[in-house]
C-alpha cells in the first residue's frame, strides 16, 4: 500500500514535541539535556533514534534494537535500512538523502520489521537536524511511532465506507474534496483522483447557488446538521442529504432516492387521478369500509336520493333494495350478500323505480380493495345508468326487425310485377294478330315496369338523402308545370282505378325556386298514394292556393283514411298503417318519407290529416314561393322536347348481357337507327374503329375491359373524340357519375332507361350539334 504523507501529518502532533525537544537540548546543558532525552525515550511508546550529520547511526539505539531486533552492529552506519520492508526501502533512502541535503524536516511512512511479533508494522517517522554552535549539523534526532492499529482501523473504515450504498464526501473549508467513497465517485461520474483536492463548485459549476449549495454553506456557517432532499437536474436524480459540519469542513452522506421519489410521485398522481375521477363521476362512485363503516358515499347517496326520493337514512341497511324493481330485488340482494361474504367482486344489473315513477336500468360494479395479506380493507363501487344504452339497444333491435321485415317486403314488391310481365309476354306471343290484346298486355307490362323502376328510384333517392348526397338542381319553376308533370306520371294508375281527379290551380302563375323533377316527385307520390288507398271509382282532389309567401297544395281523397295515432308517424321510414292490408297495394313505406325530405329540402313542410278509417286522407304541402316580380318563365326542356322525330344514327351497343343487348338493338332499329352490338370492352374498341358510330351505349361492368377503360381508349383515338359516349349502368351514385365523367363519357344513364329518354337524347343529337343536351 502506498502511503499518503499529508494524511500522516494530520494524525498527531508529535513533530512539534520533537522540535521542542531539539531546541531545548541545544540551549541547556548537555547533561540536563541528556537526562531529559533519556527520560523522554523511556517515556515515549516509540522508537527514538539519532544519527550523525550524514544519516549514519553512530551509537547504540536501545528502543530501535528492541523494536527491530537489530543488534548495534547490524544497525550502525546505514545498516538500519535493512529493518525496513524491502518494498519501501528505496523510497525511504531517497527521502532520507533529500532531507540530509536540504536539512529540512524528514517525514515518511513505511513498514518496519517488528521482532517481537516477527512481522512488519506500519510506522510513521519524523526527524529533525540539530545544529552545532558553528552553524553545521550536530546530529539528526528522529522518532518512529507505530501506527499499525490506526492504519488497520482506517482500512476497516475505508472498507466500510467504500461498501455502503450511500455516497459519502468530505470537503475542507475551501470546498475541496478530501474524501470520496466509491459510491460517491460512481454517482458523480468521476474518478476519485480527479475529485480529491478540487473544489466541488469548480467541478460542478451548475450546482452553485442551488439548494444543495445553500444547505452545505448553511451547515458550515451555522455549524449545524442539515437534512435535505433535493433534485439535481443534470443527473435527473433525487438525493437525500445529511450534511454534517466537521472541524475541518463538511461531511455529506447522500442517498439516491430517485426511485422512492418516483414511486411517491406515481402514488400521488394516482391518488390525484382517483380524486379527480371520484369528483368527475362523484354521483356514482363510492367507497365503503365495512369495519369502520366509513367511506366516500355521500355523493352517491345524494344522487340516489334525487333519482329515487329515498333519503340517505332510508337507504341504510339494505334500505336501498326497496326501490329496486320487485322482479330484480331478490337477485340483487342475493348477489350483494354473496359478494360481501365471499369478498368477490360483484356486477349486477337491475331496474330502480325513480321518483317520477318510471324504471331506469342501473349497473352496479363493486370491487374489494385488499390489504397485502388479502383481507378486504374497503369496497369501491360504481353505478352506471344503462337506461339510454338499453333503450338504444331496444331501438336497434326494433330497427333490425323492421329492416328484416322491409327486406322481405322489398323482395315481395319486386317479385310482384314480375308475374304480370311474364304473363304479358306469353299473352303477346299467343295474341298473334290480335292487336288489341297485344296493346293491352303491353300497357299492363309498361305499368309494372314503371312500378319497379319507381321502387328502385325511391330506394336510391332515400339512400342519397340519408347520406346527404342528394343535390337539388334548382331553377325557377312554375308550379303549374310541377302539377302537370306529377299528374302525367300518375295518370295511368288513376285511370286504371277509374278515379275522378279534380285539379284546381289559381290563374296567376306561381313561381318557385326548386327542382322541377323532385317537386313533381313529391306530388306524384301523394297522388299515387291517393290512387292506391282509394277504392276504385273514388275521388281525388289536387288543390293549389297561393297564400302570401307560400303555395299551399292539398291532395285529398275519399280513400281508406289514416287512423289518428298513425298521423304523426306516417312520414317515418318503412312506416305503413296496416301491412297485411297494404301488401296488396304495393309499397315499401318510403314514399312519404321521401315526400317530407324533399319538401323540407325546398324549405317547406308537409302534414297529414284524416278523420279516421274510411274518411279519406288529406296531405297539405307548404312551399315558399318567389315573391319578387315574376320573371319570364323558362319552359322546362323536357316538356318542350316531346314529339321530336329522330333522324337515324349509327349506334354501337356494348353490353355483355346478350338479351339486353339484343332488345336494345331491336328497339333502336325500330326507332330508325343503325345499331350494332359488341359484347365486351375490347370488342367495343374494335367495332367502334371499324363501324365509326355516332353514339356508343357502353355498359360499365364487363369482362376483359370495363366500360371506363374502354371509354378512355376510345377517347384517345382520333376518330373517338366526337363520338357521343353514353354510360349505361346499374350504378347511379354520384361517385359513379363522377368516374364516368373522368373516363370521358358525355352521359351517365341508369338502367332500365326510359325509351323516351333514349329518344330525346338521340333526337337532340341530330338537331343540336355541339349544344349541351338536356335530358328529362
Cβ atoms of 497 and 536 within 8 Å: the answer is: yes
Pairing relationship of beta strands 500-504 and 539-547 according to DSSP bridges: parallel
> Per CB under 6 A, does 70 bind ligand ADP?
no
Q: Residues 6 or more apart from 103 whose CB is under 8 A from it?
A: 129, 137
> Per CB under 6 A, does 617 bind ligand ADP?
yes
Question: What is the DSSP secondary structure assignment for residue 512, as one 8-state letter?
Answer: E
Which residues in the 660-689 window bind ligand ADP by CB under 6 A? Answer: none
Cβ atoms of 549 and 617 within 8 Å: the answer is: no
* Contact with ligand ADP (CB under 6 A) among 100, 127, 441, 562: 562
Shortest CB 588 distance to ligand ADP, Å? 5
Question: What is the DSSP secondary structure assignment for residue 651, as one 8-state letter?
Answer: E
Shortest CB 523 distance to ligand ADP, Å? 13
Q: E strands within 247-375?
A: 249-256, 285-288, 346-353, 359-370
Shortest CB 647 distance to ligand ADP, Å? 41
Q: What sections of 602-645 are H helices per DSSP?
A: 637-641
> Per CB under 6 A, does 653 bind ligand ADP?
no
> Per CB under 6 A, does 636 bind ligand ADP?
no
How many residues in the shown chain lie near ligand ADP by CB under 6 A? 21
Q: Which is nearer to ligand ADP, 533 or 747 (CB)?
A: 533
Q: List Cα–Cα distances, 80 to 50, 51, 91, 763, in angstroms.
A: 11, 10, 14, 138
Q: What does the alpha-carbon distance between residue 481 and residue 114 come to, in Å, rounded to a whole number? A: 134
- All three cell numbers of 578: 296496416
Q: Which is nearer to ligand ADP, 616 or 681 (CB)?
A: 616
Shortest CB 486 distance to ligand ADP, Å? 14
> Per CB under 6 A, does 577 bind ligand ADP?
yes
> Per CB under 6 A, does 576 bind ligand ADP?
yes
Q: Within 13 Å, how many C-alpha atoms sit on residue 296's CB side?
A: 15
Q: Which is nearer to ligand ADP, 364 or 593 (CB)?
A: 593
Q: Which is nearer to ligand ADP, 300 or 621 (CB)?
A: 621
Pairing relationship of beta strands 249-256 and 237-246 according to DSSP bridges: antiparallel
Contact region with ligand ADP (CB under 6 A), list: 241-249, 575-583, 678-686, 693-701: 575-583
Contact region with ligand ADP (CB under 6 A), list: 210-218, 515-523, 591-599, 747-755: 591-599
Q: Which is nearer to ligand ADP, 529 or 759 (CB)?
A: 529
Cβ atoms of 487 and 501 within 8 Å: the answer is: yes
CA torsion, points 569, 573, 576, 577, in degrees to nearest 10? -10
Peptide bond into 530 cis (omega under 30): no
Cβ atoms of 317 and 293 within 8 Å: the answer is: no
Q: Which of 525, 523, 482, 483 is nearest to 503 (CA)?
A: 483
- All three cell numbers of 774: 338536356
Q: Can you tell me whether residue 96 is helix, strand or coil?
A: helix
Q: Is 268 exposed, middle or buried (0-12, 13-18, 19+ CB in 10 A)?
A: exposed
* Contact with ligand ADP (CB under 6 A) among 323, 332, 560, 651: 560
Shortest CB 535 distance to ligand ADP, Å? 11
* Contact with ligand ADP (CB under 6 A) among 368, 514, 591, 681: 591
Cβ atoms of 537 and 548 within 8 Å: the answer is: no
Q: Which of 636, 734, 640, 656 is nearest to 698 (CA)?
A: 656
Q: Which helix (H) or strand (E) segment is 660 a member of? A: helix 658-670
Shortest CB 465 distance to ligand ADP, Å? 14
Q: Which is nearer to ligand ADP, 209 or 563 (CB)?
A: 563
Residue nearest to ligand ADP (CB): 587
Contact region with ligand ADP (CB under 6 A), list: 31-39, 122-130, 209-217, 584-592: 584-592
> Per CB under 6 A, does 92 bind ligand ADP?
no
Shortest CB 471 distance to ligand ADP, Å? 23
Q: What does the alpha-carbon distance between residue 368 and residue 330 come to, in Å, rounded to a whole number? A: 22
Q: What does the alpha-carbon distance between residue 225 and residue 245 come to, in Å, rounded to a whole number? A: 7
* Contact with ligand ADP (CB under 6 A) among 147, 187, 590, 653: 590
Cβ atoms of 486 and 524 within 8 Å: the answer is: yes
Which residues in the 521-550 window bind ligand ADP by CB under 6 A? Answer: 529-530, 533
Q: Which is nearer to ligand ADP, 588 or 762 (CB)?
A: 588
Q: Which is nearer to ligand ADP, 557 or 699 (CB)?
A: 557
Contact region with ligand ADP (CB under 6 A), list: 459-467, 556-564, 622-630, 680-688: 556-564
* Contact with ligand ADP (CB under 6 A) among 55, 587, 681, 707: 587
Shortest CB 566 distance to ligand ADP, Å? 7
To 5 degrees, how large is the angle CA 328–CA 329–CA 332? Answer: 85
Shortest CB 617 distance to ligand ADP, Å? 4
Q: Which is nearer to ligand ADP, 513 or 572 (CB)?
A: 572
Shortest CB 730 distance to ligand ADP, Å? 22
Contact region with ligand ADP (CB under 6 A), list: 214-222, 317-325, 345-353, 553-561: 553-561
CA torsion, points 145, 148, 154, 158, in degrees to nearest 10? 140
Q: Residues in the chain, how many?
A: 776
Q: Which is nearer to ligand ADP, 106 or 533 (CB)?
A: 533
> Per CB under 6 A, does 588 bind ligand ADP?
yes
> Per CB under 6 A, does 570 bind ligand ADP?
yes
DSSP string, 725-761: EEEEES--SHHHHHHHHHHT-SEEEESSPPHHHHHHH
Shortest CB 525 distance to ligand ADP, Å? 6
Q: Which is nearer to ligand ADP, 329 or 539 (CB)?
A: 539
* Contact with ligand ADP (CB under 6 A) among 249, 559, 681, 693: 559
> Per CB under 6 A, does 486 bind ligand ADP?
no
Q: Which is nearer to ligand ADP, 42 or 407 (CB)?
A: 407
> Per CB under 6 A, does 68 bind ligand ADP?
no
In the numeric block, the cell 336494345 is attached to 664
Q: Which residues bind ligand ADP (CB under 6 A)?
A: 529-530, 533, 557, 559-562, 570, 575-577, 582, 587-593, 617
Amino acid at each position: 500500500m502506498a502511503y499518503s504523507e499529508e494524511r500522516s501529518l494530520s494524525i498527531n502532533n508529535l513533530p512539534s514535541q520533537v522540535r521542542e525537544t531539539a531546541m531545548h537540548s541545544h540551549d541547556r546543558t548537555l547533561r540536563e539535556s541528556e537526562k531529559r532525552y533519556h527520560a523522554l525515550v523511556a517515556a515515549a511508546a516509540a522508537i527514538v533514534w539519532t544519527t550523525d550529520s550524514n544519516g549514519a547511526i553512530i551509537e547504540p539505539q536501545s528502543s530501535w534494537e528492541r523494536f527491530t531486533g537489530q543488534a548495534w552492529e547490524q544497525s550502525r552506519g546505514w545498516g538500519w535500512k535493512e529493518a525496513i520492508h524491502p518494498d519501501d526501502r528505496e523510497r525511504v533512502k531517497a527521502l532520507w538523502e533529500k532531507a540530509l541535503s536540504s536539512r529540512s524536516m524528514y517525514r515518511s511512512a513505511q513498514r518496519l520489521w517488528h521482532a517481537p511479533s516477527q512481522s512488519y508494522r506500519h510506522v510513521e517517522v519524523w526527524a529533525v537536524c540539530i545544529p552545532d554552535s558553528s552553524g553545521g549539523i550536530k546530529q539528526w534526532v528522529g522518532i518512529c511511532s507505530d501506527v499499525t492499529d490506526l492504519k488497520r482501523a482506517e482500512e476497516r473504515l475505508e472498507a466500510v465506507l467504500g461498501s455502503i450504498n450511500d455516497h459519502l464526501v468530505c470537503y475542507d473549508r475551501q470546498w475541496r474534496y478530501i474524501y470520496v467513497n466509491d459510491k460517491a465517485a460512481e454517482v458523480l461520474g468521476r474518478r476519485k483522483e480527479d475529485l480529491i483536492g478540487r473544489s466541488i463548485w469548480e467541478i460542478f459549476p451548475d450546482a452553485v447557488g442551488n439548494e444543495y449549495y445553500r444547505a452545505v454553506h448553511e451547515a458550515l456557517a451555522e455549524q449545524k446538521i442539515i437534512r435535505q432532499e433535493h433534485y439535481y437536474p443534470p443527473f435527473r436524480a433525487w438525493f437525500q442529504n445529511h450534511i454534517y459540519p466537521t472541524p475541518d469542513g463538511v461531511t455529506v452522506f447522500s442517498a439516491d432516492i430517485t426511485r422512492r421519489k418516483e414511486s411517491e410521485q406515481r402514488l400521488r398522481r394516482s391518488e390525484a387521478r382517483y380524486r379527480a375521477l371520484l369528483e368527475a363521476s362523484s354521483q356514482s362512485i363510492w367507497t365503503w369500509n365495512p369495519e369502520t363503516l366509513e367511506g366516500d358515499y355521500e355523493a352517491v347517496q345524494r344522487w340516489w336520493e334525487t333519482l329515487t326520493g329515498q333519503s340517505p337514512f332510508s337507504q341504510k341497511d339494505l334500505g336501498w333494495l326497496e326501490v329496486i324493481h320487485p322482479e330484480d330485488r331478490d337477485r340483487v340482494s342475493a348477489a350483494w350478500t354473496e359478494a360481501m361474504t365471499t369478498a368477490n367482486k360483484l356486477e349486477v344489473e337491475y331496474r330502480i323505480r325513480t321518483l317520477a315513477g318510471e324504471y331506469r336500468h342501473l349497473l352496479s360494479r363493486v370491487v374489494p380493495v385488499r390489504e397485502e395479506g388479502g383481507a378486504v380493507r374497503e369496497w369501491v363501487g360504481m353505478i352506471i345508468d344503462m337506461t339510454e344504452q338499453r333503450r338504444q339497444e331496444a331501438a336497434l333491435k326494433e330497427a333490425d326487425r323492421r329492416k328484416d321485415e322491409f327486406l322481405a317486403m322489398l323482395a315481395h314488391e319486386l317479385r310482384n310485377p314480375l308475374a304480370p310481365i311474364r304473363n304479358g309476354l306469353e299473352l303477346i306471343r299467343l295474341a298473334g294478330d290480335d292487336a288489341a290484346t297485344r296493346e293491352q298486355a303491353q300497357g299492363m307490362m309498361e305499368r309494372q315496369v314503371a312500378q319497379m323502376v319507381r321502387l328502385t328510384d325511391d330506394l336510391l333517392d332515400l339512400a342519397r338523402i340519408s347520406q346527404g348526397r342528394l343535390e337539388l338542381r334548382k331553377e325557377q319553376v312554375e308550379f303549374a308545370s310541377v302539377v302537370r308533370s306529377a299528374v302525367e306520371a300518375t295518370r295511368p294508375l288513376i285511370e286504371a282505378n277509374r278515379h275522378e281527379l279534380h285539379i284546381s290551380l289559381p290563374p296567376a302563375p306561381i313561381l318557385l325556386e326548386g327542382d322541377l323533377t323532385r317537386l313533381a316527385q313529391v306530388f306524384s307520390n301523394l297522388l299515387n298514394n291517393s290512387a292506391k288507398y282509394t277504392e276504385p271509382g273514388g275521388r281525388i282532389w289536387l288543390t293549389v292556393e297561393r297564400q302570401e309567401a307560400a303555395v299551399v297544395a292539398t291532395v285529398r281523397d275519399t280513400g281508406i283514411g289514416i287512423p289518428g295515432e298513425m298521423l304523426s308517424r306516417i312520414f317515418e321510414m318503412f312506416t305503413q298503417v296496416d301491412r297485411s292490408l297494404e301488401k296488396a297495394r304495393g309499397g315499401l313505406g318510403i314514399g312519404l318519407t321521401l315526400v317530407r325530405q324533399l319538401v323540407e329540402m325546398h324549405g317547406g313542410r308537409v302534414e297529414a290529416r284524416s278523420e279516421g278509417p274510411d274518411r279519406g286522407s288529406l296531405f297539405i304541402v307548404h312551399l315558399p314561393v318567389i315573391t319578387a316580380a315574376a320573371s319570364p318563365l323558362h319552359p322546362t326542356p323536357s316538356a318542350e322536347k316531346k314529339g321530336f322525330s329522330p333522324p337515324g344514327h349509327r349506334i354501337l351497343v356494348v353490353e355483355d348481357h346478350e338479351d339486353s343487348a339484343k332488345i336494345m338493338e331491336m328497339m333502336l332499329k325500330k326507332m330508325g337507327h343503325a345499331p350494332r352490338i359488341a359484347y365486351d370492352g375490347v370488342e367495343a374498341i374494335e367495332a367502334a374503329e371499324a363501324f365509326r358510330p355516332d353514339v356508343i351505349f357502353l355498359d360499365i361492368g364487363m369482362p376483359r375491359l370495363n366500360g371506363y377503360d374502354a371509354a378512355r381508349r376510345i377517347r384517345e383515338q382520333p376518330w373517338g373524340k366526337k363520338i357521343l359516349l353514353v354510360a349505361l349502368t346499374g350504378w347511379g351514385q354520384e361517385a359513379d357519375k363522377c368516374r364516368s365523367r373522368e373516363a370521358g363519357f358525355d352521359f351517365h344513364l341508369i338502367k332500365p332507361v326510359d325509351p323516351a329518354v333514349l329518344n330525346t337524347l338521340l333526337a337532340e343529337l341530330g338537331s343540336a350539334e355541339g349544344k349541351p343536351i338536356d335530358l328529362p
